[in-house]
Amino acid sequence: MTYLLLIIGAVLVNNVVLTQFLGICPFLGVSKRLETSFGMAAAVLFVMTLATLVTSLLQYILVSWNITFLQTITFILVIASLVQMVEIVMKKIAPPLYQALGIFLPLITTNCAVLGVAILSTQKFSSVLESVVYAAATALGFGLALVLFSGLREQSELYDIPKPMRGAPLALITAGLLSLAFMGFSGLVR
């Protein structure tokens, strides 16, 4: 039951993009097309989960050697390495998706959501399993927000929108409304 509440809390209540405002750059940049949103969501799920697993294990080493001041730089290096691995694999397996994601795939390296979740999980949880479940659920929440937002943006292209509202203004208003909708889940779990 604890893990179920952890998953619901990470996906809906404390959504990393819509309530904590981490990972806004890929959220706004990749959300123009639904297929690229699914690809980015899958890449973030893989990188965030694996990065949290590795950083949680590294945290034990950093604490035991009393070098926790190196936590941030160590975590950044781990995340950058994992993103490079994902980029190489995606280039071989799914070239169209690799082309569609373009510059946003390397941006996962600097995606503050990935680093933020790695740091938050080491602060919140003592168990590696809890950290990994939290990271996977947070990545699913990121993907859910990204796909919902992408669907709304694609749908908005079908309507005659006044010229000053097209593009970024409408995207930001839509993101704000989506954030308000997710804040409706705030009493669901702690």
Give the pLDDT score at 190. 64
Name the pLDDT band for 117 (thresholds 50, 70, 90).
very high
Residue at 189: amino acid letter: V
The percent of the chain in helix, strand and coil, each rounded to the nearest 5, is: 80, 0, 20
Q: Is the pLDDT score of 109 beyond 80?
A: no
In a domain? residue 163: no
For the segment 171-180, the average pLDDT, to the nearest whole number, is 93
Residue 55 belongs to what H/E stretch?
helix 34-64
In a domain? residue 168: no
Which domain covers residue 122, as residue numbers? 32-151
In a domain? residue 24: no
As a whole number, the mean pLDDT across the chain is 89
State the Cα–Cα distance between residues 184 and 181, nearest whole angstrom.
5
In a domain? residue 47: yes
Dihedral sign, Cα of residue 143, residue 145, residue 146, residue 147: positive
State the Cα–Cα distance between residues 183 and 123, nearest whole angstrom.
24
In a domain? residue 178: no
Q: What is the pLDDT of residues 141-158, one digit of tens each?
A: 999 999 999 999 999 888
Q: What angle do CA 105, 156, 28 make, to 5 degrees?
A: 25
Other C-beta atoms lying within 10 Å of the C-beta of residue 127: 11
CB 174 within 8 A of CB 17: no
In a domain? residue 126: yes
CB 5 within 8 A of CB 129: no
Total domains in the chain come to: 1
Q: What is the pLDDT of residues 66-89, one digit of tens each?
A: 999 999 999 999 899 888 888 888
Give the pLDDT score at 4. 93
Mention every residue, 6+ apart, whose C-beta is less than 8 A from residue 4: none
In a domain? residue 82: yes
In a domain? residue 45: yes
User: CB-based burial of residue 76 (10 Å sphere; 0-12 exposed, 13-18 middle, 19+ buried)?
Assistant: middle
